[in-house]
A and B are shown apart, each in its own frame.
Chain A
Amino acid sequence: MKRTTLAAGGGLLFSSLPVSASAYAGANDTLNVAVVGCGGRGTGAANQALTADEGVKIVALADAFRDRLDDCYNTLNERWGETGRLDIPEERKFTGFDAYKHATELADVVILATPPGFRPLHFEEAVNQGKHIFMEKPVAVDAAGVRRVLAAGRIAKQKKLNVIVGLQRHYQQNYLEALNRVQNGEMGDITGGSVYWNSAGVWVRERQPDMTEMEYQMRNWYYFNWLCGDHILEQHIHNIDVANWFIGEYPETAQGMGGREVRTGKDHGQIFDHHFVEFTYPGGAVISSQCRHQPDTFSRVEEHLRGTYGTIELDQGGKALMKDRNGVLLYDHNSMNDPNPYQQEHDDLFAAIRNGNVIDDTENGAKATLSAIMGRLATYSGQVITWDQAINSQEDIVPDNLDWDVEPPVLPDENGNYPVPVPGVYQPV
């Protein structure tokens, strides 16, 4: 939004109307934003919201940990402190497991960027309170959570709430251009492909002597399924989502294999370090999905799709390379001047709020989440998992009423090791 538009509002400039009453904000209203989950990503999303719309103010922060909240505040203050658009007095800094509720109450728009285990709870609350939502992927860690998000999403739709899910490839120019060409039939029908998130792995936060088990798991959340859902979900969801999106379907079955070979320490919790899944789609397309967290191995984060007439390679770096089946180049995307997809998500969100439009990513976000969970159920069990099995799974690994004195749902044995799923033994429920 341009400053001239704001100035034209005259006396109404930045009047704070209760957005939730109508879910529609006029061009001149301040949009109060609360950040729920103040890690690097939540802080980054807050920065993008502030950049997207000059009427945005950050009015509340919520995090389980005070130190993370302070880091977020200090970082935002570095960038935005002099603009007057951070309005976060001490009484609007909320910590602990119920912090999200208080922060959400104060906002027109919430940014949900905690570890994904909390997302269904936080999303339900935001929808119930009638807030517009930016939420990071994945949107749940188990089927129970996916069902909750789908149900709350139906209410969000009735309330005409904007919901953007951080599957930012949907907001990235090379993907959109490629999709357009695929839908125009330039490479025929998609029959299969391979999607990859093979890398060295991510951060580990080691146990410190003074930590309770709950604090340790919350700090080192990547390695616990009730918080993270394993890397096939937390990261590889992006690539599986692209396959679904371009094929135009969700997988019918998944079968695969996986385990942990390299990342096997006590600080590596219970998740695998590699998964390889074959997803079969209703129209017959078959996608190989591979994700790996092992240093010094071949790394690639891309999506390669095959059609009846040609192939396409896509990646987040801006690649969209389409060839016909003889290898003749059909399209080579130049991403030099493409906008930042993370910024685009927020530009679109706030423009929609201002203009009274509705963007609703909930259903795809939930179903992309379920697709990756299906892959995890397949690699953990070694069985063929159908979509119906996955969506009806009774797995419900996130405890209710979480608090610092609640026992986490997974605990180490006497040697400090956590139970790791064993194919053939692990039973999907």
Chain B
Amino acid sequence: MSCGTSEPASTPESSNRDADTEQAILEENEFDADFIPYSENIPETSEAIELVPVAGGTFTMIDEDTGKRHEVAVDSFWIGKFEVTWDQYNLFAQGDLNELRQDFYKVMYDVDIEMEADAMSSPSLTDEVLDMLREADVPADVISKPSPAYSDMTSGMGTDGFPAISMTHYAAHMFTKWLTIKTGEFYRLPTEAEWEYACRAGSNDNYSAPSDSELENQAWHRGNSNRKYQLVESKEPNTLGIYNMLGNVTEWTLDQYKEDYIGELQGAPAQNPWFKPEELYPRTVRGGSWTESAEEASCLQRRGSQPNWKMNDPQLPKSLWWHTNAPFVGFRVVKPKDQPEDLEEMEEYWIEAMQDYF
């Protein structure tokens, strides 16, 4: 597939945006005119993903509990200015599986799959299609979309402009594949290191928890959110111009959760660290949320997903797609500045579906 950089689209003015910050970003990237905020339109829809550039660098990751520190280097990337909204997520979740599969195999593998709609809308592929994919040496189970949830996954909190929630890590990951197909640009979830780097926005050596006024201005938490999530474009952004990293919804990252993350880092500095998930649980979410206390609204806040996030899923195996009991979990996307050179490099980031028998 082609992974060239799109033409930067117009960036909507943000009244909250600090003009000096904008200038600082531009200066830092003065040799790279393409590495600026832009808006990635999702073709054939009225939706766009707003992106903020984060220039790579080194910073010190800190384990609050043990005091361990480790220097980490991350490459440049764009990150979603906002959490992914239901408006965006539902384009994927409620889209046509038939079309998605055809587009995916065409774009990624240059394999044309044409078949009867009946066969394609089935959750599992027919033998005929499986044979075709096998012949072309194409993996069969690399693209899918959420099944309809049995219940309401918004917890009655609204959809228009609000963050998508309650999706599994696999579902959030699959959204990024869908977005990759739609836009022709490689998207994925942020690694823990990227997430924290973007959240800290320049406080690279040390980190101090947000002050009371920063909390009030930037974070939705249990104490101020009136028991519900809020619009993704609300409160003030951090100094890079990114909204709601501290709170609103806690956000999926690309990593398996390691209790002793800092202790497991290797290299000085650790280069683009990422613990690829090999187990279904726990996987890492970062930042606070509307259900969590103000103390948890921090760039260092991290926790692992748990089986009881599907407590109200009475079936077995449990849903690949929905966490019935995690109305606090959402995500934002990342687009690496250096796009993968080929499909194989991209496949390194793909995460396998794992059935949930817990």
How far is A149 from B199 in the complex, measured between Cα atoms in Å?
A: 59
Whether the Cβ atoms of A47 and B158 lie closer than 8 Å is no
Task: Report if B316 contacts A (CB, 8 A).
Answer: yes
* Neighbouring A residues of B5 by C-beta, 8 Å: none
Interface of B is mostly: loop
How far is A168 from B150 in the complex, measured between Cα atoms in Å?
A: 15
Whether the Cβ atoms of B357 and A200 lie closer than 8 Å is no
User: Per-residue 0/1 for A195-237: is the Cβ within 8 Å of any B Cβ (1 yes, 0 no)?
Assistant: 0111111110011110000000000000000000000000100
Whether the Cβ atoms of B312 and A202 lie closer than 8 Å is no
CB distance from A5 to the nearest CB of B (A): 25
Task: Report if A15 contacts B (CB, 8 A).
Answer: no
Contact of A315 among B155, B159, B315 (CB under 8 A): B155
Whether the Cβ atoms of B152 and A75 lie closer than 8 Å is no
Task: Report if A302 contacts B (CB, 8 A).
Answer: yes
A residues within 8 Å of B by Cβ? 39-41, 43-48, 75-76, 78-79, 166, 168, 196-203, 206-209, 235, 295-296, 298-302, 315-318, 321, 340-342
Task: Report if B16 contacts A (CB, 8 A).
Answer: no
Whether the Cβ atoms of A301 and B308 lie closer than 8 Å is no
Contact of A295 among B94, B150, B315 (CB under 8 A): B94
Q: List 23 A-B contacts (CB under 8 A).
A: A39-B315, A40-B317, A44-B314, A44-B316, A44-B318, A75-B317, A75-B355, A79-B357, A166-B314, A199-B149, A199-B150, A200-B94, A201-B148, A203-B148, A206-B121, A298-B158, A299-B159, A300-B152, A300-B156, A301-B151, A318-B325, A321-B227, A342-B312
Q: A44-B314, A44-B316, A75-B317 are in contact. Are A202 and B148 (CB under 8 A)?
A: yes
Kindly report which residue of chain B lies nearest to residue A295, judged by CB atoms.
B94
Chain B positions 155-170 with a Cβ under 8 Å from a chain A Cβ: 155-156, 158-159
How far is A300 from B154 in the complex, measured between Cα atoms in Å?
A: 7
How far is A321 from B357 in the complex, measured between Cα atoms in Å?
A: 32
Whether the Cβ atoms of B158 and A43 lie closer than 8 Å is no
Whether the Cβ atoms of A301 and B311 lie closer than 8 Å is no
How far is A166 from B315 in the complex, measured between Cα atoms in Å?
A: 13
Kindly report which residue of chain B lies nearest to residue A207, judged by CB atoms.
B118
* Neighbouring A residues of B147 by C-beta, 8 Å: 203
CB-CB nearest 10 A-B residue pairs: A40-B315, A300-B156, A299-B152, A44-B316, A79-B357, A44-B315, A301-B152, A43-B316, A199-B152, A47-B316
* Neighbouring A residues of B158 by C-beta, 8 Å: 298
CB distance from A214 to the nearest CB of B (A): 19
Task: Report if B21 contacts A (CB, 8 A).
Answer: no
Whether the Cβ atoms of B90 and A296 lie closer than 8 Å is yes
How far is A200 from B317 in the complex, measured between Cα atoms in Å?
A: 22
* Neighbouring B residues of A296 by C-beta, 8 Å: 90, 94, 159
